[in-house]
Amino acid sequence: MASSKTTRFSVSMPEHLVQRLDRMMRAHNYANRSQLVARLVRDALLEDLPESETTEIAGTITLVYDHHKPNLQTLLTSIQHDHHAQIISTLHVHLDHDNCLEVLVVRGPAEKVRIIADELIAAKGVKHGRLVLNVSGSPLP
Ligand code: NI
């Protein structure tokens, strides 16, 4: 944690958003709105790291794709080999007859991790892709 000092501020937003926030708070057992909002802000800040960011981060890249798509699996494998230093582990699940789910654990400078995720997620035939970032020991932004 960067700092343990807490600041109080008030936020205005449409009522329906507050209702959904409260539902989310209860569903995930948060003690109060502040705790949930702090987590959402932290997640948003991580996603918003500037491109030049050299902070060491860890995270996961999730991909869903059809393994019948010509050349797709070869392309995804070759992208991963190009970045073997940052890809720590991979998990491959054969979801059904056509679809594969792949989860990659990645670690490295934020900029590099983002490039890897962009290359994989943008590969033609990838149906779903998402990068989830976590800090790696360094203070939260
Ligand atoms: Ni598969």
State the pLDDT at residue 140. Answer: 52
State the pLDDT at residue 41. Answer: 87
CA of 122 to the centre of ligand 1 (A): 19
CA of 99 to the centre of ligand 1 (A): 6
Q: Which of 130, 125, 112, 131 is nearest to 74 (CA)?
A: 125
pLDDT range class, residue 133, cuts 50, 70, 90: confident
CA of 47 to the centre of ligand 1 (A): 28
Q: Is the pLDDT of residue 3 over 70?
A: no
CA of 64 to the centre of ligand 1 (A): 9
State the pLDDT at residue 74. Answer: 94
CA of 63 to the centre of ligand 1 (A): 11
56 and 112 Cβ atoms separated by less than 8 Å:
no
State the pLDDT at residue 138. Answer: 54
> Per-residue pLDDT tens for 29-71?
999 999 999 988 887 777 665 544 677 888 999 999 999 999 9
> Per-residue pLDDT tens for 105-126?
999 988 899 899 999 999 989 9
Q: Is the pLDDT of residue 1 over 70?
A: no
**From CA 42, how far away is CA 94, in angstroms rounded?**
33
CA of 92 to the centre of ligand 1 (A): 6
Q: Is the pLDDT of residue 75 over 80?
A: yes
33 and 25 Cβ atoms separated by less than 8 Å:
yes
CA of 80 to the centre of ligand 1 (A): 16
CA of 86 to the centre of ligand 1 (A): 22
CA of 98 to the centre of ligand 1 (A): 8
Reading the block at residue 86, the tokens are: 């940052």
- Determine if the pTM surpasses 0.75: no
107 and 57 Cβ atoms separated by less than 8 Å:
yes
> Per-residue pLDDT tens for 81-110?
999 999 999 999 999 999 999 999 999 988
1 against 3, higher pLDDT = 3
CA of 135 to the centre of ligand 1 (A): 29
